[in-house]
């Protein structure tokens, strides 16, 4: 996410971070490079001008905090302005109304509105415990209604049936009545995608808006559209009172410019970002976390939230009790850990949220590919239960059988067994640590955390 922009900015900031002091000349030189970086990231020119002026105004003549180097002070200013440009804080959906709260999605064709509807439905159901009903008014795209119905069934939320022979206005009227009768908390309305210059379709969307009077009208836009996304959103915003934006396909090879431009040109907050194809791949948009990620500071809070929401607590507690009792860490336990890592997006997703990840070599990132986890799971699945409990019995003929069964080489089996043995040895050492030593480690961790928070 925003990897290209992050890499370029990190390169620029490394130059100023080593400076002993901040002068007007080196600030101007750095800002010139940042300006080019933002333009190459497809950030709209008016946004770049305003952003650079704000950073310049904040940096020149700024008294340097005694706890920071001049370079760190500049990065702190840059981060503050990045957050300001993207909206300061997360803007949640405003659902505080008499149920059902109606949420309407609009946008161009092919930007992922229908998928976003299902993702948002799942998010509201799982995170906010809402009773959700979804409906499609898209009678123009082949299989659009069927697609939403299939997605709704996949995530176990209710779907209001419609068909291409109905009029969109009739569909939303009936869906709204159903939502009221059945006491739904939220009604999500999927609309037909159309180009902003299509006056007939724009009139239809405005008519739908007038009937359902949504509390939220979300504009869905593909992050790969670049600065054109902001201009298109501006046209939609003139016709409809948009309340927020969902930025899709943020996980693709996008340059990141849309996240800056849309907020500035429309004044509307980005409320969610789509980070994948799966129905759980929707995240609230936090400007401060994105800014930290762009500047190579990582996104630890999002990583913690992923772990809290997707890790099986029962399995984790059982493993902790098992290890505390002195029982051996087995390959079956290792397999469970691999599955849990994959459930939160795999190693690629995890390390992408760690600080300074953009400074790691491409070779290291390649080794963290999720395919490695899948291959490791296949190897363990090809073992017998006895082999998983006592891996030391796995000899040459066993390894050849396991390799053949999992479609890998014997060297891959050897590598997994070595990694597992290293992990088991580490766990044995951890068990020997005294409570006083643990207390010292925690105290040291708190001191480090305090130092970073002061920065």
Binding residues for GTP: 107-114, 248-251
Q: Which parts of 179-333 are beta strand (E)?
A: 186-190, 216-222, 244-248, 270-274, 282-284
Provide φ and ψ at 65, rounded to 5°: -60, 130
Residues comprising the binding site?
A: 107-114, 248-251
Q: Which residues does 393 contact at the CB level (< 8 Å), separation at least 6?
A: 386, 387
Task: List 133's β-bridge partners, or say none.
Answer: 158, 187
Q: Which residue has the tokens 């630890």?
A: 300
Q: Among 12, 26, 10, 14, which Cα is nearest to 59's? A: 26
Work out the burial of residue 259: count CB atoms within 10 Å of its CB; fewer than 13 is exposed, 13-18 middle, 19 or more buried: buried
Neighbours of 116 (CB within 10 A): 22
What is the residue-wise DSSP string for 193-236?
A: ---TT-HHHHHHHHHHHHHH--SEEEEEEEGGGTHHHHHHHHHH
Q: What residue has token string 């804080």?
A: 89
Let me know: does 135 contact 160? Beta carbons within 8 Å. yes
- The 3-state DSSP class for residue 188 equals strand
Pick the closest to residue 132 from 96, 179, 75, 95 (CA basis).
179
- Eight-class DSSP state of 392: G
75-to-4, 15, 32, 95, 253 alpha-carbon distances in Å:
18, 12, 15, 37, 25
Q: Give CA–CA dist 141/95, Å, rounded.
A: 29
Token look-up 């370079």 returns 71
Phi–psi pair at 135, nearest 5 degrees: -145, 145
Contacts of 304 (CB under 8 A, 6+ apart): none
3-class DSSP state of 270:
strand
């Amino acid at each position: 996410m925003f990897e290209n922009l992050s890499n370029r900015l990190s390169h620029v900031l490394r130059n100023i971070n080593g400076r002993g002091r901040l002068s007007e000349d080196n600030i101007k030189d750095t800002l010139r490079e940042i300006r080019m970086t933002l333009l190459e990231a497809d950030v709209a020119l008016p946004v770049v001008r305003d952003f650079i002026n704000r950073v310049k105004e904040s940096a020149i003549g700024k008294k340097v905090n005694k706890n920071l180097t001049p370079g760190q002070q500049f990065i702190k200013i840059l981060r503050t302005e990045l957050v300001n440009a993207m909206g300061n804080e997360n803007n949640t959906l405003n659902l505080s109304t008499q149920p059902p709260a109606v949420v309407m999605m609009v946008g161009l064709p092919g930007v992922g509105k229908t998928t976003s509807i299902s993702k948002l439905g799942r998010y509201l159901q799982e995170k906010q415990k809402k009773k959700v009903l979804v409906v499609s008014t898209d009678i123009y795209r082949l299989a659009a209604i069927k697609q939403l119905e299939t997605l709704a069934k996949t995530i176990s939320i209710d779907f209001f049936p419609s068909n291409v022979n109905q009029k969109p206005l009739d569909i939303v009227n009936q869906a709204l009545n159903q939502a009221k009768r059945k006491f739904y908390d939220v009604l999500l309305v999927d609309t037909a995608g159309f180009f902003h210059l299509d006056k007939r379709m724009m009139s239809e969307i405005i008519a739908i808006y007038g009937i359902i009077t949504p509390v939220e009208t979300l504009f869905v836009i593909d992050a790969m559209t670049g600065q054109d996304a902001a201009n298109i959103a501006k046209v939609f915003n003139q016709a409809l009172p948009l309340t927020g934006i969902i930025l899709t396909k943020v996980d693709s090879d996008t340059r990141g410019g849309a996240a800056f431009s849309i907020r500035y040109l429309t004044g509307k907050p980005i409320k969610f970002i789509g980070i994948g194809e799966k129905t759980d791949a929707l995240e609230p948009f936090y400007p401060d976390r994105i800014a930290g990620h762009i500047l190579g500071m990582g996104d630890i809070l999002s990583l913690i939230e992923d772990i809290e929401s997707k890790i099986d607590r029962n399995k984790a507690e059982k493993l902790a009790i098992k290890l505390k009792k002195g029982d051996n860490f087995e390959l079956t336990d290792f397999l469970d850990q691999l599955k849990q890592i994959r459930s939160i997006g795999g190693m690629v997703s995890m390390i992408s949220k760690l600080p300074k990840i953009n400074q790691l070599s491409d070779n290291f990132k390649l080794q963290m590919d999720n395919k490695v986890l899948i291959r490791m799971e296949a190897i363990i699945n090809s073992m017998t239960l006895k082999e998983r409990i006592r891996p030391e019995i796995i000899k040459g003929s066993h390894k050849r059988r396991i390799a053949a069964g999992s479609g890998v080489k014997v060297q891959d089996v050897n590598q997994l067994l070595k990694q597992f043995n290293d992990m088991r040895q580490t766990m044995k050492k951890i068990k020997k640590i005294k409570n006083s030593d643990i207390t010292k480690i925690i105290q040291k961790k708190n001191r480090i955390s305090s130092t970073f928070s002061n920065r």
